[in-house]
Amino acid sequence: MSILHRWLTPGHPELPVGKVVCVGRNYAAHALELGHAVPQRPILFMKPASAVVPLESPIDWPRAEGCCHFETELTLLIHRPLSHATPTEIRQAVAGLGIGLDLTLRDLQEQLKQAGHPWERAKAFDGAAPLSAFIPAEELSPWEPLQFSLDINGKRRQTGNTALMLFSFEKLLMEISQCFRLEPGDVVMTGTPQGVGPLDSGDALLLTLENRQFKTSVR
């Protein structure tokens, strides 16, 4: 398990791995592919620090629980406390940007949803948040439109652009900081675009964020 977040370039402050606040249905096309309405307020849930693993580590999950879906998401690394934050505080609080997978045990999540139970078993298990090293905000601005994608075994599966988010990074952090105090080392996963699907043993994944590439695979 990671103890400190990793930077893509050296010389940036060390930050402990904190909680991961996740956003559901932040891209309209993804909400629709799962048969949901577009939300009026961000749908928020969390993964604990124990779910975080380096993106490059082989992906695994409790196989007895059924299929595990990939959800490719941009991630924001927070380095200043944020509570009921203003836009200025928000812009100063994002230290870096990365890409990660919001791994989801979809069969189990469907059972839990139908029973009206919380999602943690499906979303917060050990290894459920593979995160790339972070790119410092000075090198890649989180406040400009950003393009990202996922290829599996050489085939494009997901393409995202932050211009298509229902709630911008700024709006998300404003809303999140009303509910949960964000601490240095916390991460926000900002939602997945359409195209989610199950992972298989041996899959080779290539994630891109602008011109950066990150590789991983399924055990």
Residues of this chain that interact with Zn ion (CB under 5 A) are 71, 102, 192
The residue whose Cβ lies closest to Zn ion is 102
Residue closer to Zn ion by CB (options 160, 184) is 160
In whole angstroms, the minimum distance from the beta carbon of 86 to Zn ion comes to 27
In whole angstroms, the minimum distance from the beta carbon of 172 to Zn ion comes to 13
Residue closer to Zn ion by CB (options 7, 70) is 70
In whole angstroms, the minimum distance from the beta carbon of 5 to Zn ion comes to 19
Residue closer to Zn ion by CB (options 192, 216) is 192
b/e for 127-154, b at 16 or more Cβ within 10 A?
Answer: bbbbbbbbbbbeebebeeebebbbbbee
55 in Cβ contact with 131 (< 8 Å): yes
In whole angstroms, the minimum distance from the beta carbon of 137 to Zn ion comes to 22
Residue closer to Zn ion by CB (options 149, 192) is 192
Q: Is 172 left (phi over 0), alpha (psi -120 to 50) or beta?
A: alpha
142 in Cβ contact with 171 (< 8 Å): no
> Could you tell me which of 125, 27, 143 has the C-alpha nearest to residue 76?
143
